[in-house]
Amino acid sequence: MSTKTFPALYYRGSPLETTPQYFGELRDSTDVINDVATLRQRMAEDGYLYLPGLLNRDQVLEARRAVLERLAEQESLDPTYPLLDGVAKAGVEFSYRPDLAAQNPAVQGLVYGEDMMNFFSYFLGGEATHFDYTWLRAKMPGPNTATQPHCDIVYMSRGTKQLYTAWTPLGDVSYELGGLMILEGSHRKQETLGEYWAVDVDTYCDNDKDSKEHLPWTWHNTGGAFDKDALKVRDQVGGRWLSHEYNMGDVLIFSMYTMHASLDNQTNRVRISTDTRYQLAADPIDGRWIGETPIAHGEEAKIGMIC
């Protein structure tokens, strides 16, 4: 078996070991796209489905253009380069920009359009629906914008657990631009991760009103991340970090229990992607993420607990 060599990869400035023992590529499930039983089996086994080319590339390009136009208007891009290159203006740093997806028909039409919804209805075996809230990442260059290792369940556990994230790159994402990584087998690590999976980031201790800020869990300083250090997490939880270079049209779908993080953006360009959520329409849905202006993690989302 030939061993692929990877460019130098980093997580928050630390080099990742990319030997086969520690790092690998995601399994492509295009070959079984017409076999729903195998797709479900793969999700159960791997905790993810990597589906290159699920979406229409031209539609992805339109969504990319719409996001970049807004960034250009806000003077976050270097105007001496073509818009679609998305070259960042030096010194501008941000990472999480859901505002760029709001009232953005090109983005919404892509991630909640026919290709995506039909796939989820087929995969789930019934009519699918989606959260209305659209997460959008515009990862500016540098070691500070990489996503810290987490499982999505801690942010969205108040409805069905048969809920899936679709990570959609709005642009081709090389290893240097830094796409998503998945921790191999993590969705099955109940013993190591069970306590973390039970966390709801919007709960707080209600023993007395002064303690309102104190969350009743070990992860209160991390914003929901399992740990800030992706290298430590790999050693602690086990499994390799798996990633890939992505093209426009690709989608990476994963379970609420699958640990993921991202690579550093080592380029001078912005890495743009959305992450969106899908479930059966008949199942209970987490009220924080639906409606015209979802309450998200706002004040109304908080639940007090005696702890």
Ligand X SMILES: O=C(O)CCC(=O)C(=O)O
Residues of this chain that interact with Fe ion (CB under 5 A) are 152
Evaluated on CA atoms 58, 289, 45, 264, the torsion sign reads positive
Per partner kind, with CB cut-offs from 5 to 8 A, the member of ligand X, Fe ion, none near residue 180 is ligand X
**Cα(176)–Cα(304) distance, rounded to whole angstroms?**
43
**Cα(217)–Cα(196) distance, rounded to whole angstroms?**
8
**Cα(78)–Cα(84) distance, rounded to whole angstroms?**
11
Per partner kind, with CB cut-offs from 5 to 8 A, the member of Fe ion, ligand X, none near residue 137 is ligand X
For the CB of residue 211, give the shortest distance to ligand X in the complex, in Å.
Answer: 29
Q: Which is nearer to ligand X, 137 or 234 (CB)?
A: 137
Residues 6+ apart with CB under 8 A from 221: none
For the CB of residue 152, give the shortest distance to ligand X in the complex, in Å.
Answer: 5
Per partner kind, with CB cut-offs from 5 to 8 A, the member of ligand X, Fe ion, none near residue 264 is none
**Cα(115)–Cα(124) distance, rounded to whole angstroms?**
14
For the CB of residue 75, give the shortest distance to Fe ion in the complex, in Å.
Answer: 29
Q: Which is nearer to ligand X, 97 or 240 (CB)?
A: 97
Q: Which is nearer to ligand X, 167 or 289 (CB)?
A: 167
Strand partners, 157: none
Q: Which is nearer to ligand X, 211 or 231 (CB)?
A: 231
For the CB of residue 174, give the shortest distance to Fe ion in the complex, in Å.
Answer: 21
Per partner kind, with CB cut-offs from 5 to 8 A, the member of Fe ion, ligand X, none near residue 157 is none
* Pair type for strands 180-183 and 241-243: antiparallel
Per partner kind, with CB cut-offs from 5 to 8 A, the member of Fe ion, ligand X, none near residue 273 is ligand X
Per partner kind, with CB cut-offs from 5 to 8 A, the member of ligand X, Fe ion, none near residue 167 is ligand X
For the CB of residue 205, give the shortest distance to ligand X in the complex, in Å.
Answer: 27
Q: Which is nearer to ligand X, 29 or 273 (CB)?
A: 273
**Cα(7)–Cα(15) distance, rounded to whole angstroms?**
11
Cα–Cα distances in Å, from 280 out to 32, 122, 133, 230, 294? Answer: 22, 10, 16, 32, 19
Could you list the residues that contact ligand X (CB under 6 A)?
Answer: 137, 147, 152, 165, 167, 180, 260, 262, 273, 275
Per partner kind, with CB cut-offs from 5 to 8 A, the member of ligand X, Fe ion, none near residue 277 is none
Nearest-CB residue for ligand X? 275
**Cα(201)–Cα(193) distance, rounded to whole angstroms?**
15
For the CB of residue 55, give the shortest distance to Fe ion in the complex, in Å.
Answer: 19
Cα–Cα distances in Å, from 194 out to 118, 186, 187, 258, 291? Answer: 32, 11, 10, 12, 30
For the CB of residue 108, give the shortest distance to ligand X in the complex, in Å.
Answer: 17
Q: Which is nearer to ligand X, 29 or 148 (CB)?
A: 148
Q: Which is nearer to ligand X, 117 or 304 (CB)?
A: 117
Residues 6+ apart with CB under 8 A from 106: 59, 62, 63, 65, 66
